[in-house]
Every structure is written in C-alpha cells, then in structure tokens.
Amino acid sequence: MRDRIAWPELPLSRWSDTRATLHMWTQVIGKVRLASTPLVNHWWNVPLYPTAHGLTTSLMFHGATGFEISLDLLDHQLEVTTSDGTFGAMPLVAQPVSRFHARLMGMLHDLAIDVPVRTTPVEVPDPIPFEKDHVHASYDPEWAQRFWRVLLATTRVLCDFRARFLGKASPVHFFWGSFDLALTFFSGRRAPERPGADRITREAYSHEVMSFGFWPGGGGFEDAAFYAYAAPEPPGFADAPIRPREARYDQALHEFLLPYAAVCADADPDARLREFLETAYEAGAELGGWDRAALERGAPAEAAAAAYGEGPGAPPLH
C-alpha cells in the first residue's frame, strides 16, 4: 500500500545516503535540461518541476524533436518520452551515479538524442564527475517517495500563496544544483550589483527578490526546513517577528528557517506553513518598500474562481 501521508516525517539521518544519490541523479537530468534549453531570465530554463509522480524536465527540444525526462518517485523508474512516439525507461534501484549517468545517456542516444553535457556537479563541495562517481549509490524507495510527497505538499501550499501576488513571480520549481524547491517574488526594481558575484549569481539576483521554499537538509547542515529570504536584505529584516514561534533567523545563511519537523508534527501543517510564508513576505515587502498595492491581489482566490464560473455559487459560463 502506497504511503499517502501528505506531510510524512523526513529526518535526514534516515535517508542521508539516498538523498545524496538523488541529488546527483537530478543533476545528471538537470544538465541535460541545461544543455537543451535557451537561457531564460534568472536561470528559469534550468529547474525541474514537481509532477503527480515525481519530477520532470518538462518539454525540451533536440532539433525538431521534443522530449521530456521524468523521474518517477511513485513507481520508481526514469522515463524518457519523445514527440516521435519513442520511449525509454529504466528502474530506479540502488546504483552508482556513474551507472545512472551511462544508462541515461545511452538511452538518449538510442532515441537519437545526443546531448553533450558537462559532467562535473555544481553547488556541492568536492564534486565528483558523473562518470567517475562510484560513491553515491544508495536508493531507498520509501524515503525517496517520502521526499517527493513533501515536495508535492509544499508545491500545493506555495501555489496557493503565489496566486495572490500580481507582480513578476517564478514558477514553483526545483533547483537541482542547490536541491531545493523554490518560489520567488520580484519587487519590479533592479537590484544593485553584487561585488564579486559570479555569472550564475549575477543573473539570479539581477532584481530585488524574496524567495521561499523547502530544502531537505544535507551538505553538513541540519535537517529539512522551509526558508524565506530577501535579496538584497532590507534593514531590520533579521529581527522581524516571523511566525510560527519555531521560525528563526540564521545569521550564516541570512534566511529565516522553519524546521520541517515542526510543520509535519502540527495539527494543521498547511496553516503553519502559510503563516510562515505570509509573515516573512509581509516583513520583507514592508521593510523593503515594495509597492504592495500594485503587487497584491485584493480579492481572495475563491472570489476570483467564482468570477470565472468555478467553485461554489459560481454563475454558469456561456
């Protein structure tokens, strides 16, 4: 019987090896996406996206051929589909990154999709090129699926949170470099240049932003947490009264963190996460001088749905 708990427990100590391997597998898939898509502002051509079964690249092109790579964490297989009607798949089982990389690239080659990628992972200490990585080789289906269910539940809340923001906003997407689910709001103003910023950072933070998301832990840090930060950070943001009470500001990361364990143990996890997102946004927008009247929708989402003939009490559309 598949575990249908929306907010399952996810202590890092129970799945750290699987987490590290999944991180590298998503980087292999993400590198194909990076090589197969044109640059979109803030690197929005790079992330993966949560689906009803796992994560996907969404549609990419190799010449005139459309293709998509999906990491199915419900039925535990990797799938490649193409607009030519061809299909490839392999089971997700414990295997080193080197084998995963070789099998995926071989599968793409068999489908007449040859994508040259740089095989060195990014945003990790002491990166091992994919073809030489025999270290990361763990895959526990139960914990991989729990991780995906957390992404799914978080995506649901983030999409609802995003709906009332009228300004420029990113999709809810999964960055395989930093291995986190993210949503970003923009004030509409350009940000000052960051001294010494590399090309990736310069593009990502070219404009004033607030970002919110979920990070599963790892890399020498503590367990999974939700996060919220402003860039550039306005004065006083670190001292803002963010709720719920378990939220705290991390001086090293310059972010507010809310432990995932505190959310999944709550009687109403959705409400606790929404409280964190809303109070962090309000603090950042107020202290940063954002034009909230222009950037926020006044009417609740339910009223907007009713206006378009959806939801209880909605008039019929003709």
Residues 6+ apart with CB under 8 A from 160: 274, 301
Angle (CA) 209 199 225, round 5°: 45
Most confident of 189-193, 200-204, 226-230: 226-230
- Tens of pLDDT, residues 37-84: 998 888 889 999 999 999 999 999 999 999 999 999 999 999 999 999
**203 pLDDT tier (thresholds 50, 70, 90):** confident
So what's the pLDDT on residue 310? 56
Q: What is the mean pLDDT of the chain?
A: 91
- Average pLDDT value for residue range 186-198: 85
- Tens of pLDDT, residues 279-291: 999 999 999 999 9
- The answer, yes or no, to whether residue 204 has pLDDT greater than 90, is no
> DSSP of 2-47, one letter per residue?
----SS----HHHHHHHHHHHHHHHHHHHHHHHHHS---GGGTTS-
Higher pLDDT, 4 or 93: 93
Judged by DSSP in three states, 56 sits in strand
So what's the pLDDT on residue 219? 65
- Average pLDDT value for residue range 84-100: 97
